[in-house]
Structure 1
Amino acid sequence: MTDTSELVAQLADRVQLLEDKLAIMHIISAYGPAVDSGSAEAVAGLWTEDGVYDVDTGSMSGRAEIESMVRSSNHQSYIHGGCAHLVGPPHIAIDGDTAVATCHSQLVLRDTETGANRVARITANRWEFARLNGEWKVTLRTNRLLDGRAEARDILAAGVTATV
């Protein structure tokens, strides 16, 4: 029979895991509203100071470059034309103070001529996290377009078997 202190320790570990997963989900779910509202500091603040956002169209290193992406004329045209960055529920694997989350994301743009919305991009996403001073932050986010290339499929396949 298991003693009370062991049960309490097991319960505390399970609660910590749930709190960690919830914190990571909170970060991922904040990305879309922050980037679609043009909240550059909020977007960049999801990353560590030296965090990297690696998109198939280019890579941004550090918060300043991520903020610049949000403020760029290209991104501002998305916002002012009507856009939505939709991030699907993540599969999360946690090991101590590091974690990996894998999910899909979509960029939906409004067609200014017809007013209809269309999916402009669907990507496979790998988010890597570190817990620093008790707070989870993104260290690396890798997005790859789901256009038939193996690289995007590999991200998804690795995610469902991820063990940090």
Structure 2
Amino acid sequence: MTSVEARLAALEERLRLLEDEREITRLILSYGPLVDGGRAEDVAALWDDDGVYDVDELLMTGRAEIEAMVRSTPHQRWIAGGCAHFTGPPHVAVSGDDATAVAYTLMIVNTADGFTLRRATANHWRLRRTPSGWRAVERTNRVLDGREESPALLASHFPARA
């Protein structure tokens, strides 16, 4: 391989990594607008067919259960009353066809007193490249309420220093 070919191959590898990170970031950041818009099928499509969504009080396995959560009466009440699932920019780490990401999510709801923060959560995503693009394999959310599990979930994304 010539030096020009080596440089081109390195550039292509860097470009693919940037494109992967961009696609994963867009997937993660699309969750809030889709779930608050009641787009149940589109929310479920963010996950692989047998993907897992583990929220403190609810474990969903597979797209059908994720879709059902969006269509559920409690979730539809949040939408009707006014809510926003706001996700901060994720930190994404790609390794071949697998990736992880961590981010914070705030759920803001409309109340009689105005908008109120209902919950702040730590989010850890495991993702996989599929023929249809990147999909969530597992998303774990834990409320940031002082329990040890929540910051540990965030820290697990970053390699330990030697």
Match in the other structure for 1:30: 30
Rate the CA distance shift 1:134–1:45 in 2: closer, same or farther, 3 A. closer
**Other structure's SS at 1:38 match:** coil
Q: Deviations over 1:111-164 (max 9, x none)?
A: 0x23x10110000000110001151000000000000001001011122338xx
Query: Does residue 80 of structure 2 align to residue 80 of structure 1?
Result: yes
Aligned residues of 1:52 and 1:140 also touching (Cα < 8 A) = yes
Match in the other structure for 2:70: 70
Match in the other structure for 2:127: 129
Match in the other structure for 1:19: 19
Relative to the length of structure 2, the TM-score reads: 0.95
Aligned residues of 1:24 and 1:136 also touching (Cα < 8 A) = yes
Distance across 2 between alignment mates of 1:142 and 1:161: 18
Match in the other structure for 1:3: 3
Aligned residues: 159
Aligned residues of 1:102 and 1:160 also touching (Cα < 8 A) = no
Q: Runs of 5+ in structure 1 lacking a partner?
A: none
Please give the residue correspondences for 1:120-159 in structure 2 after superposition, counting only pairs within 5 Å: 120-133=118-131, 135-159=133-157
Relative to the length of structure 1, the TM-score reads: 0.94
Match in the other structure for 1:110: 110
Q: Runs of 5+ in structure 2 lacking a partner?
A: none
Q: Deviations over 1:95-116 (max 9, x none)?
A: 10000000100100000x23x1
Aligned residues of 1:86 and 1:107 also touching (Cα < 8 A) = yes
